[in-house]
Amino acid sequence: MNHLKIISLNQLFLALTLLLWSLGQFQRIQLSNISFYLHDLVILFWLVITLFKSPGFFKDLTKLLKGKIIYLGVVVIAISLGFVFNPPSIDQLLTPIMYLSRISLYLLMGVLSYWQLKNQKKTFISDTYFQETLYLSAVMVLSLGFSQYLFFPDTRFLAIFGWDDHYYRLIYPFFDPAFTGQILVLLSIAFYPLISKEKRFFGLSFFLSLAIALTFSRSTYLSFIVSQLLLALMNFSKKNLNYLLITLLSFTLTIFVAQIPAGEGTKLTRTNSIVARSENIKENLLSDSKTDLLFGTGLFSFNNQPKKNLLAQEVVNHARVPDNIFVQFYSQTGLVGLIIFSFLVVKMSFYFFKTNKLLLIMLISLLVHSQFNATIFQPFVLLITSILMGWLIIRKNKVTV
């Protein structure tokens, strides 16, 4: 009986986490100016139970952190210096605490995913179960996205609730075409090694490319094309080249056909978003303080922003984050934080190049997209990236790419 309880418990937590994640903003809980997601509670509960019920997880986690203690110390110092020189009030400190807590939770979820798969004889979560649960989650995301595009193409009403307004663009279930698009790109990378194994995975990849086209997000298009070219070059063959040509052809045709009910958002030559991003970056690069230049204002610190109404507070917070990952680290952690972040990116790139090229392509894809959007720390993007990394590290020796 205990054996069966453990099986059902771990499988239930994984399925529940990915199911809730695939529902996107529909499972968002907003309490005043604080928001969280139902999957946050599930992950937290799962982590706590695993820590108490599985001593091996705590031991492996401690070993992992011990090996990275110097890097962690340097990162903590870089994040903290901005707050030391720009002391926030208690209210202003709440936002960065919430951001950093969520980031830590999602990174631990990636470690937990890896550990569950590595110890599947104890955890009873097999690679097949993990793969099928991810597959169903991807299908759910696609189903919600296509349903919204076909039956609710005019989502401008969401502006009433503080979201950006869009017309004839695929935005469900994450309510943003750029972030939805990048999530679809990450899924296409993760399932790429399986497209030659079963027809359903080829079908999934095909529909992912169509959905990406319907987002009309130019940063997503660039991220997708770069990742597809790298995937084809990674293991060059006639078969992979044919797949690349089919994917890019269907992707391009979808863009042109879907532009028929034209709106401002579907015009690839639109400039309003470029102007807005440029202004956003300029504002975050301006600083009169030498300490801000060196140490920033504190990661995810928005204490210099004007107050806005609570309904739009979440959108205001997202707008305050620079639409470029390097500008964000420069403005919020200064030159010190930017140098440390750049060093870690280079180090990770070399490590992934030697050990797991799928992860390298995923990293490159994220970096390309994050030159135009606040992508890496977006909750849904970060969570699925963390989970996919745990899965792909385990699958490295099981699937020939």
- Reported as a single tens digit per residue, the pLDDT across 326-356 is 999 998 899 999 999 999 999 999 999 999 9
Evaluate if residue 383 carries a pLDDT over 80.
yes
Q: Supply the mean pLDDT for the chain.
A: 85
d(Cα 334, Cα 80) in Å, to the nearest integer? Answer: 11
Determine the structural domain holding residue 12 and report its residue range. 2-395
Output the pLDDT for position 399: 42
Q: With respect to residue 276, please indicate whether it lies within any of the assigned structural domains.
A: yes
Query: Mean pLDDT across the stretch 361-368?
Result: 97
- Helix runs in 23-126, H state only: 38-53, 55-67, 69-85, 90-118, 120-123
Element holding 37 (H helix, E strand)? strand 34-37
d(Cα 399, Cα 296) in Å, to the nearest integer? Answer: 43
Evaluate if residue 308 carries a pLDDT over 50.
no
Sort 71 into a burial class: Cβ within 10 Å, 0-12 / 13-18 / 19+: middle
Evaluate if residue 304 carries a pLDDT over 70.
no
Evaluate if residue 397 carries a pLDDT over 80.
no
CA distances from 48 to 114, 181, 216, 384 (A): 16, 32, 40, 20
pLDDT digits (tens, 9 = 90+) for 56-69: 888 888 887 777 77
Task: Tell me the three state secondary structure of residue 378.
Answer: coil
Query: Mean pLDDT across the stretch 271-295?
Result: 74
CA distances from 245 to 20, 185, 219, 232 (A): 34, 17, 21, 10
Given the DSSP bridges, would you call strands 34-37 and 28-31 parallel, antiparallel or unpaired? antiparallel
Q: With respect to residue 138, please indicate whether it lies within any of the assigned structural domains.
A: yes
Phi first, then psi, for residue 305 (nearest 5°) are: -90, 145
CA distances from 195 to 137, 276, 319, 386 (A): 17, 39, 37, 22
CA angle 73, 75, 79 (to 5 degrees): 120
Element holding 34 (H helix, E strand)? strand 34-37
Query: Whose structure tokens read 């972040």?
Result: 341
Sort 272 into a burial class: Cβ within 10 Å, 0-12 / 13-18 / 19+: exposed
pLDDT band at 306 (very low <50, low <70, confident <90, very high): very low
Q: How far is CA 247 from the centre of its chain?
A: 23
d(Cα 196, Cα 193) in Å, to the nearest integer? Answer: 7
Output the pLDDT for position 353: 94
Q: With respect to residue 207, please indicate whether it lies within any of the assigned structural domains.
A: yes
Residues 6+ positions from 315 with CB-CB distance below 8 Å: 162, 163, 164
Q: With respect to residue 359, please indicate whether it lies within any of the assigned structural domains.
A: yes
pLDDT digits (tens, 9 = 90+) for 123-182: 778 899 999 999 999 999 999 999 999 999 999 888 888 888 898 999 999 999 999 999
Sort 91 into a burial class: Cβ within 10 Å, 0-12 / 13-18 / 19+: exposed
Its pTM stands at 0.91
pLDDT digits (tens, 9 = 90+) for 233-269: 887 777 778 888 889 999 999 998 887 666 666 777 6
Query: Mean pLDDT across the stretch 358-377?
Result: 96
d(Cα 45, Cα 64) in Å, to the nearest integer? Answer: 21
pLDDT digits (tens, 9 = 90+) for 76-123: 888 888 888 888 777 778 888 899 999 999 999 999 999 999 888 777
Q: With respect to residue 366, please indicate whether it lies within any of the assigned structural domains.
A: yes
Q: Which tokens is 306 given?
A: 């004007």
Q: With respect to residue 9, please indicate whether it lies within any of the assigned structural domains.
A: yes
Which amino acid is residue 399, in one-letter code? V
Evaluate if residue 232 carries a pLDDT over 80.
yes
| Sign of the four-CA dihedral 326, 331, 335, 338 | negative
Q: With respect to residue 336, please indicate whether it lies within any of the assigned structural domains.
A: yes
Q: With respect to residue 400, please indicate whether it lies within any of the assigned structural domains.
A: no
- 335 vs 278, residue with greater confidence: 335
Output the pLDDT for position 7: 52
- Pick the range with the lowest mean pLDDT from 70-74, 189-193, 353-357: 70-74
Domain count, the chain: 1
d(Cα 388, Cα 113) in Å, to the nearest integer? Answer: 9
d(Cα 138, Cα 76) in Å, to the nearest integer? Answer: 34
